Structure 1
Amino acid sequence: MRYFLSLFLVFGLSSQAQVFFQESFESTTGWSLSHIYDDGNDDYCKRDSAVAFDELGYTLFGQEGIFVIGAEDTDGELGVAPEDGVITLTLDPIDISGQNDLELVVTLSCNSDDEAYDDRSQDNGDYLDFQANIDGSGWQTIGQFNSRAGGSAISTLYQDMDMDGDGGELGEVAIGNAMTDYIMSIAGTGSSLQIRALLKMDGADEVIVIDDIRIKESEGDVIPPTVYSAEVIDANTLQVVFNETLGSNAEQTFLYSGVPNLDQVTLQADQQTVILDYSSDFELGEAYQLIVFGVQDAAGNAMQGTYSFPFYWNPTTPELVITELMYNDPSVEDTLEFIEIYNHGSTEAIVGGFRLEGAVNHTLASVTVPSGGFYLVARNALAAEAFYALSFEDYGGQLSDNSEFIQLVNVDGVILDSLTYDDNVPWPSAGDGFGPSIELIDPDLENSIGSNWIASDNGLGFINGLPLSATPGTLPGEFLPVVQLSNVDIEVNEVDGVIEIEFYISGSNSNQSVVEVEYIVGTATSPEDHGSNTISTVTLPANSDGLEVIAFPLVNDSDIEGVEYFRLGISAVSNCQIGLNDEIEIIITDDDYVSPALVINELQSDNTSTVQDANGGFDDWFEIYNPNDFQVDLAGYYVSDDPLNPTKDRLAVGTDETIIGPFGFKLIWADEEGEQGPLHVNFKLSAAGEDILLSAPDASLLDAIDFGPIVTDRSFGRFCDGEDLWTTFDAPSPGYGNCVNGLPELQQGPLIYPNPAEEFLYIGRPQNFEILNSEGRIIDRGNADMIDVRYLPAGLYLLRMEGSRPQRFIKK
C-alpha cells in the first residue's frame, strides 16, 4: 500500500468539509499517553485545562474546548520521563470503511517567542512527528515539525513540508503561540486507521501543545499563498518568493505597492519567485516599505491580508567608529546609557539602514553624518536628551553591565566596526557603575583593544551621589561649544518679511557648529507663515563667540490671518551642545487684519465674594463683549491700565480660551498673576478708580473706560451690553449680559422654583409667561404652570408673567 504525503497550514476549514472523527481530549478515553507526569514546574507531559498551563511562558488561546495535551522537557523528570525523551500519544482505532482521500487535521501551539528549539539530529533535539497505520500495515510518517537545522536553541518549530529534518525552508511556516490548524494528507484505503504522535521536547522553554485531532475528507488546494521571503537584489530590483506555485495575476504591478516607480513584475521559471524592477534607483539610506496583497496561487486562492517588507538601500561602507560607551551609568534603571558612533572619514556618511547588532539591535535612521560628526543612540532617548542636551535615537535595549559584543553592519551585512567591551583590565573598570563612560582615546586606534580606552573625566553632574562623566558628541580632550537662543520670544509684523533669531555661542573652536532648527507647535501651520520651508539646519562659524543673527523669510500674503504664533526648538547636529534656552516663540501680527468692534462691558475692582477664578481667588476682573454675529479670537490683543502704555500686556496666543463667541462675553482676571493662565493679566484694578484700555493686535485703540471708586462686590458696566450708558450694578453678572442685570429691583412676584433650574421651572399656577435672554430678547412664551427649560443654554434669564413683576432665574 502506497502513501502520498503533504503538509500545509490551514487558515480555516471549509464549512463543507466532512469531519467524521474528532478527538479534543475533553474525555480521558479514546487516547493514551506513554508517559504522564508533572513536577509542578518545567517538566511535564499531561492532559490539563488550557488555563492551567502556567508553565508555558505565554498565554494559550484558540483551543477547542477546555482540555489540551501539553509537554515540556520530556526527559527532565528522572525515573518518570522516558530516557530518550520521546513520548507517544496514540489514538484508539478509527473506522474508515468506505472513506477515500483522507486528511488529518491537528491544532498546535509552541513557545515561538523564545526560539529555543534544537536541531532534531542532536542529542537534545526537539521535534513532533505524526504517523498513520491503516489496517495494521505499519506506521508511516505523514508529517514532521522541526526547528532549523544546524544547532541548539536555533529557532522555533516549523512545518517541515519535505520532512528533511530542516524546518524553515521555502514555504515552511513557523508554529506560533496561537493554536493553529495543520493538515496532513493520508492516501490509501482500508477499514481501520490508527494515528499517533511522537513528541520530544528536550529542555525547559521547549513546549508543544496538541488539541482537536480530526479526520476528514480532502478538499484539494484551499490554502492561500504566503510570502516566504523578500530581499533587495540591487539598486532598483526587489525579489519576492512565495511558498507555492503562483497564478497569472502575479505579474500585475498594482499588487506590489509602497515603493514608487515600479516598472515591471516578472514571474520566474520556478513559478514561485517574482522580480520587481523599478525605473529609478532607490535613494541611499532612505526607508522603504513594500506592500504585497491579492496575489493568487495556481488554484486561484488569493493572499489573506497583506505582506510588508521594510528595507533600506545603502551598500556604502563609510569609516564609522564606535568611540564612546556609557554601559552602566549611576541611574537606577541605566536610563542614561548610550553608544557614540563617530564618522572618521573625510566625507559625509549616509547611515540609514545600517544596524547595530549584538548588545543591541537597532536600525540607524535616515541621517547624514558629516565628516567628524557623531550619531548617538541611547537606551532611553528622552532621558538622554534631557540630561546631555543632545539628540539621540532610541535603541530600546540595554547594554550588559559586564561584557558584551557590539558590531555595526551595513545593509549587505558588511561589518563596519565591531568590539567586545569588558569591565576588567585592560578595559577601564570605572565604567562599570562608578559614573564615567568609557572613551576611545583616539579614533585612529583599534577600538577592540581595551588599553586604547579610558574612563571619561568630563563631569556633567551627580546621579545617585556619583559624579556622571561623559562626552557624547565629542572626542576625549575636546569641549563642545555651547549654543543657545539669546531671546525668549519675538514679536513681528507680517509686513516685516523676515524673522531674525539670535544665536549665542560660547566656547567656540576651530570647527563650525551645526544645529537643527525644528518647528514644534503653533497656529501658524503654513510653511510660508513660519519659514519651515527654509528652516532645517543652521551652520554657525568657527571661532565666533558671541551673537550670530540668522534671518528667516516671512511671507506677507493677502490672507487675513489675525495673530498667529509658532514655537521653534534647536538641537545639536555636530560640534556643539545646546544650552538651557533651546526654544523660542514667535508671534506674528498680520498687517492685513482689521479688528472688529469689541468693547469693555463690565468690571469689578473690589471682588471679595462675587466670583472666583479657577484657582479659587476672588480677583479683580473686567469683561469684554463681542457685539458681532461671528466669533473673535482675542489672541494677541493688548490690555492695559495705563493710558501712557496701552500695550502693557498682551493676551496669550495658541489657546481656545481667548475665543469669544458671537454676542458672547470673555472674563479677564486682573490679578498680576499672568502665569495662572491665558486670561490672567499682569496688573490689578484700583478700587479708587483708574483706566482700562483694549487695543487691537496692531496697537490701535478699540475701547477705553475711566472709572471711579466702586463699592465692594458691586460692578460697573454698560446697560445694555455694548451701549454707551454705564451704571453700577448691585448684582454683578460676570460672563453674562447686563440687560437683565441692569433692571431696577422689582417687587417679589409669585414664587418660582427651583432656582437655579435644570429641567423644569414651576410658577405656581397656569398663566401667560415670557422668557427673555440676557440681551433682552424674548426667546419663549406660553401658558403653563410648569415651564420646560431643558433646551435653554446655561445662563441668566428674565421671566415675565401676566399681572406680576418680572423675576430673574438661572438655568444650570
Structure 2
Amino acid sequence: MSDANRRRYGLLIKMASLVIILTGQRGFGLVISEVMYHAPGDGETLEFIELYNNRAVFEDLTGYAFTNGIGYEFDPGTIIGPKSYLVIARDPAALERSYGLAGVRGPFTGRLSNDGERIELSDSCGQIVISLRYDDDPPWLAAPDGTGHSLVLSKPGGDPAEASSWSPSTFVGGTPGEPDQVRAVTEESTALTLVDVGHRGLYFKGTTEPSPSASGRPTTAWTEVGFNDNPARTLWAEGPSGYGYSNEADELRFIATQISDMPGNYMSIYARLPFELTAEVISFFSSLRADVHYDDGFVLYLNGVRVADSGQISGNPPPFNQSGGPATDPPPASIDLTSRMDLLRPGQNVLAIQSHNASLRGSSDCFVSPILRATIGEPGAGVDPQARVLINELLANSDAGTDWVELYNPGPATVDLSNVYLSDDASDLLKYKIPDGTFLQPGQFWAVTEGMGPG
C-alpha cells in the first residue's frame, strides 16, 4: 500500500486492518457461510453452522445431510430461499433463546472440533456438495478459537476452501442467520452496499394501515427501528428485498419477492430492511446514496425519518389506499443522502419504504427495490469523526528500557478506550487489553508499556 493510502486509511486500535465485505457477493451457490466451532466459555450448546443460498432460486434440501464433522439430515420439504440463510445448531432451542432467532434446525450430533476438522454436506444421492476444512493453525486465523467470534466466509467471490476467504466475525457471538458486516477497507473496495436486491427483509401488504393511530389515521411508527414486525404476531411477512409484480424482464430482475395477489386487492406495499453497523464502520463513511427502482410511486425512510419520495404521492404519510400517481414507468431514483448520515447509528438500523400502485385494477406492474450504498473516505469522514485513535510513536526491541506504544487522540472529543485491545499478531487480536475506564482526552498522548497484562 502506498504512503498516500496509508495516510488515507489511518489506524484503528481494535484491528490492524479493516475489510468491508458483503457475504452476499460470493461466487458459489450453496455455501457454508459461518461456523461457530468454539463458543465462548463452556457454550458448546451454542455451536452452529450457517448455510447461505447465493442463487436467485429456491434450494430444496430434502434428503441432504451433514455426513462428516457433524451428523444431521434435513427434514423432507426443507427449503432455503434465494439469497437466504439457514442455521443448524447443536442445541436449536438454546441458540434461539440466546440470539432471539426462530426456525433454527437441528440438533446435530457430535460437536465441532476446536482444533479444526472437515465438514461435509451431501445431497439426497449421497454426493458431497460442500466440503469445508477449517483449522485454527496458520494460515487460518486463531481469533474464532475461543474469543467468542465465529468464522465467517467474508471474501467476495472467494473460494471457501481457502483460508484467505475467511475471517473472524465482526461481533462477539457471530451473526447466525444474518450477513456479517466485516471490518475494513481495502484499496480495491471503496464502497459498502448496506441494502441490495435480495436483502433479508419484511413486507406488509397494504390492505390496511401498517401502524394506524387510535383514530385509524396513518402514522410512521412502522418505519422506526423498534417497531414490532414479528411475522408470528403481526401481518408482516419475511421475504428478500425487491417486492411486487411485473411482466417486464427489466423490472423482474429487481423483484425477489413476487406479490401476485396485489392487482384488484390493494394498492400499496410496505417494507422494512434492517441492517447493522458499528461506530467504526460509520466513521469511514464519506457519502450515502439510495437508488430506488420502482413503479409507480414511493416514500423512503431511514430510521423513522422520511428522507425521499417519488414526488407523486400526497399525504405525510400517505394512507395505504393512496394512488402512486400516473402509470409512467419511471426511471430509477438516485438520492444523495449524505446530509442524512447523522441518522445512522451503531447497532440496528432500518431502511423502510412504501410503494403505491397507480390504480387498484388494470395495472401491469407495481414494485419497489431500494439499494443503499455508502462510500468510504477518510477515517472519521462520517458522522462520528471522533471515534478513532492513532498510534503516534513506538519503541520496540530496545536495550535501553521498556518497550512502549504511544497513542494519540487527534479528535475534538474524549475517546473511551474500555474494551479496546492492542495486538502485534493478526491471529490473536485480543493480546493486550487497555484497562477499563481509560479515557483519552482531545489532543492527549498516552504511552502503553509492555508491562500491560494480557486481555
TM value normalised by structure 2: 0.37
Compare the two structures and name the one with the higher helix fraction: 2
Larger radius of gyration between Structure 1 and Structure 2: 1
TM value normalised by structure 1: 0.22
Compare the two structures and name the one with the higher strand fraction: 1
